[in-house]
Amino acid sequence: MNAIQAKGISKSYRERKVLKEIDLEVEEGDIFAIIGPSGAGKTTLLRILCSLQPPDSGTVAILGRQISFKATEDLQLRRRMSFISQKPIAFRNSVRENVAYSLKVRGVEDRKEMVDNALQHVGLLDLADNLGMTLSGGELQRMAFARATVYNPEVLILDEFTAHLDPYNIKMLEDALISYQKENGATILTVTHNMFQAKRIARTTAVMLDGQIVEQNDTATIFNNPTDERTGQFVKGEMIF
């Protein structure tokens, strides 16, 4: 079964067509990367998949269920998935409280151990009692990762989750992501303009250009034998944006 199934997704802002009839299928348990230059419509696509905004046309099914794009109706489904944005925001609370929030809204009572584990997983246990807002960029992103995974979502969607970070933090976050996927068998969909990251972590890679997915295959094939000419240019770094 496909964990994520999108059909014919289109979206325009004023006159500009951002997404053009996109079809996307992500298998359960896959680590799936969408690569492509900035402005290709990747973030918009992710927001639609997360039910944060409706498309102009098209349908999305997550874990076999249709998304209605109405906040209340999608609640149960949303609780089985998670999203990490490029610029996460910390609540005005301690790191621990930030991570506990995801459990609190689900009515989970025994939070301490789960929160500690999630923080341990991203190396933040020492900073647990600091204010979320005082963290550095990398620490903040790691806290966001812990907050998004503490309730073991079956689908995890990430938008440029290591953009602007230093190699140390990138490495920590990538490791955390891969081990999370291994332990939980979750489905991961990540968007990046960094093709090396896709190469490092993804099993399947799709290339998105100008509102369309131009090619999709297992990662090795995409990078070694691209069929689409534009893909070849992009993965070789020859494409001029």
Near another protein in 116-145, by CB under 8 A? 131
Alpha-helix residue ranges (DSSP H) falling in 53-94 = 75-78
Q: Does 92 bind another protein (CB under 8 A)?
A: yes
Tokens of 128: 């647990």
CB atoms near residue 129 (< 10 Å): 9
Q: Is 68 in the site for another protein (CB under 8 A)?
A: no
Amino acid symbol at 2: N
Instruction: Count other Cβ atoms within 10 Å, centred on residue 159.
Output: 21
Shortest Å, Cβ 104 to another protein: 8
Q: Is 112 among the residues that bind another protein (CB under 8 A)? A: no
Task: Single out the residue of 10, 12, 86, 93 in contact with another protein (rule: CB under 8 A).
Answer: 93
Given the rule CB under 8 A, which of 36-44, 71-79, 169-177, 224-232 is the region that contacts another protein? 71-79
Binding residues for another protein, rule CB under 8 A, total 24
Cβ-based nearer residue to another protein, 118 or 213: 118
Query: Between residues 19 and 103, which has the closer beta carbon with respect to another protein?
Result: 103
Binding mask 72-91 for another protein (x = CB under 8 A): x--x--xx--xx-x--xx-x
User: In which element (H, E) is residue 2 found?
Assistant: strand 2-13
As measured in angstroms, the least distance from the Cβ of 155 to another protein is 12
| Under rule CB under 8 A, residue 96 binds another protein | no
- Which SS3 state, helix, strand or coil, does residue 137 take? helix
In angstroms, give the least distance from the CB of 85 to another protein.
Answer: 8
**Residues 81 and 153 sit within 8 Å (Cβ to Cβ):** yes
- Closest contact distance (angstroms) between CB of 114 and another protein is 14
The first and second tokens of residue 107, run together, are 């009515």
Least Å distance, CB 106 to another protein, is 6
Question: From CA 114, how far away is CA 97, in angstroms rounded?
Answer: 12
Asked if residue 71 binds another protein (CB under 8 A), the reply is yes
User: Is 241:38 a contact under the CB 8 Å cutoff?
Assistant: yes
Residue 50 found at the interface with another protein (CB under 8 A):
yes
- Which amino acid type is present at position 11? K
Cα–Cα distance between 39 and 74 in angstroms, integer? Answer: 28
Helix crossing, 95-104 with 137-149: angle to 10°?
Answer: 20
Kindly state whether residue 190 participates in binding another protein, applying the rule CB under 8 A: no
The whole-angstrom separation of Cα 44 and Cα 60 is 14
CA separation (Å) from 123 to 54, 116, 117, 222? 36, 10, 10, 33
Give, as ranges, the residues between 146 and 185 that touch another protein (CB under 8 A).
147-148, 151
- Interface ranges with another protein (CB under 8 A): 50, 52, 71-72, 75, 78-79, 82-83, 85, 88-89, 91-94, 101-102, 105-106, 131, 147-148, 151
